[in-house]
Amino acid sequence: MKLATLRRRSDALPGVSGVARLDRRTTRLAGRLNPGDVAVIDHVDLDRVTAELLVAARPAAIVNAQPSISGRYPNLGPQLIVSSGIPLVDNVGAEVFAGVKEGTKIRVHGDTVYVGEAAVVSGTAQDIETVEILMLEARAGLAAQLEAFAVNTADFMTRERNLLLDGVGIPDVRTNFTGRHALVVVRGHDHERDLKRLKHYIREYKPVLVGVDGGADALLEAGLKPHVVIGDMDAVSDAALGCGAEVIVHAYPDGRTPGLARVQDLGVAAITFPTSGTSEDAAMLLADEKGAELVVAVGSHSTLTEFLDRGRAGMASTFLTRLRLGSKIVDAATVSRLYRNRVSGAALLLLVIAALVAVVAALAISDSGRTYLHSLHSDWTHVVDWIQEKFS
């Protein structure tokens, strides 16, 4: 079934109203959304990590100037939004940024956005059924996407060959990674659950804690202080930037650093890391180059579907970074399963107590054992009487 046949009638969704919040950078918008606002975004192929940030802000509705699923690959964001019960209106066009002003109260009814009684823009209202159909169509084109990925990977390798092979461009840092584990935290899928499961591992191994943009806030929320904060600085709080961690601003290869001004305005010292890869991959390359023994990824991508959800632009960086780290990089879920299967101190104590109980029981049911226990009890009684007499 084609997209044209999926357009909903204007009365298909109940109307919702809220204050409009607009930004072409979706992650930046998610950081300033209040519950009940209407998020107006400009994000083609909405990925799951960004969708999770939007859903966590509990908006009344999401209006996207672009198609949330273009059909290039099966991205996971729209599925998460509609399954959370948040109305999603797609492909309303860039004119929404001219027709709707920041802070204006707007109404979303069906596939149309209203300011007062005037219809401003219309698009396609999505629900679980339409998103599933679009996802099926997108999966049918995966072969073409994988071919494009191969070309993109070769191009990325050409651009970043010196970085990937020799570590050229990776900045010097004061944080010591040598011989230690590094925990790289992205505010991604199941990051809260992973951090909770890893608390005993973190307590024992004391890894270097690296927060990638909003991952720094995820660490703080878990009661942990990051040692390093790295990223574009568009999805990290002022509190995380000012927590005392070493701050590394992800820069473009040409030297532009859009996030540096914000960090400097806070009076926080920072260094830059120029790369065309993602901030997450920059963090992993940094940990590897500086001698980390193991890199544990929290909230990262581990399945083919999640990997493709990055889109072609991020896939090459992700693939080649993991290829460089090899067996040094492990997923947080794997670490938590292995660590949970180790014998804990409490379990050993219970085992010793159980063994002692078994020995006492065995002695109690035999004649020689009862004699021994009686003798032991008598000796202990004499010791207690002597102590009482000595100190009375």
Domain harbouring 49, CATH code = 3.50.30.10
Same domain? For 282 and 298 the reply is yes
Same domain? For 328 and 386 the reply is no
The closest alpha carbon to 258, from 238, 274, 280, belongs to 274
In a 13 Å sphere around the CA of 226, the CA atoms on its Cβ side amount to 32
Tell me if residue 132 falls in helix, strand or coil. helix
Element (H, E) at 71: none
Res 13: pLDDT = 45
| Average pLDDT, integer, range 370-376 | 60
Same domain? For 185 and 332 the reply is yes
d(CA 185, CA 60): 29
Same domain? For 146 and 123 the reply is no
Q: Residues near 204 by Cβ (< 8 Å), separated by ≥ 6?
A: none
The closest alpha carbon to 289, from 210, 224, 198, belongs to 210
Handedness of CA 60, 65, 71, 74 (dihedral sign): negative
Token pair of 369 as six digits: 């054992």
| Average pLDDT, integer, range 374-378 | 62
Query: What confidence tier does 166 reach under pLDDT thresholds 50, 70, 90?
Result: confident
Strands annotated E in 128-186? 181-186
Please indicate, yes or no, whether the overall pTM of this predicted structure exceeds 0.75: no
Q: Residues near 217 by Cβ (< 8 Å), separated by ≥ 6?
A: 187, 211, 236, 237, 239, 240
pLDDT in tens, 240-265: 999 999 999 999 888 889 899 999 99
The closest alpha carbon to 121, from 22, 239, 210, 51, belongs to 22
The closest alpha carbon to 231, from 292, 186, 191, 164, belongs to 186
| pLDDT over 80 (residue 367) | no
Same domain? For 231 and 318 the reply is yes
The domain boundary, picked from 139, 158, 182, lies at 139
Same domain? For 165 and 240 the reply is yes
| Domain extent for 366 | 348-391
Query: Exposure of 100 by Cβ count < 10 A (0-12 exposed, 13-18 middle, 19+ buried)?
Result: buried
CATH number reported for the structural domain that contains residue 241 in this entry: 3.40.50
Q: Which of the 8 DSSP states describes residue 134? A: H
d(CA 299, CA 193): 9
For residues 325 and 346, which has the higher predicted lDDT (pLDDT)?
325
Q: How many structural domains is the chain composed of?
A: 3
Res 344: pLDDT = 56
Same domain? For 83 and 32 the reply is yes
d(CA 83, CA 128): 6
Q: Which of the 8 DSSP states describes residue 36? A: T
Token pair of 59 as six digits: 């908006």
Same domain? For 180 and 249 the reply is yes
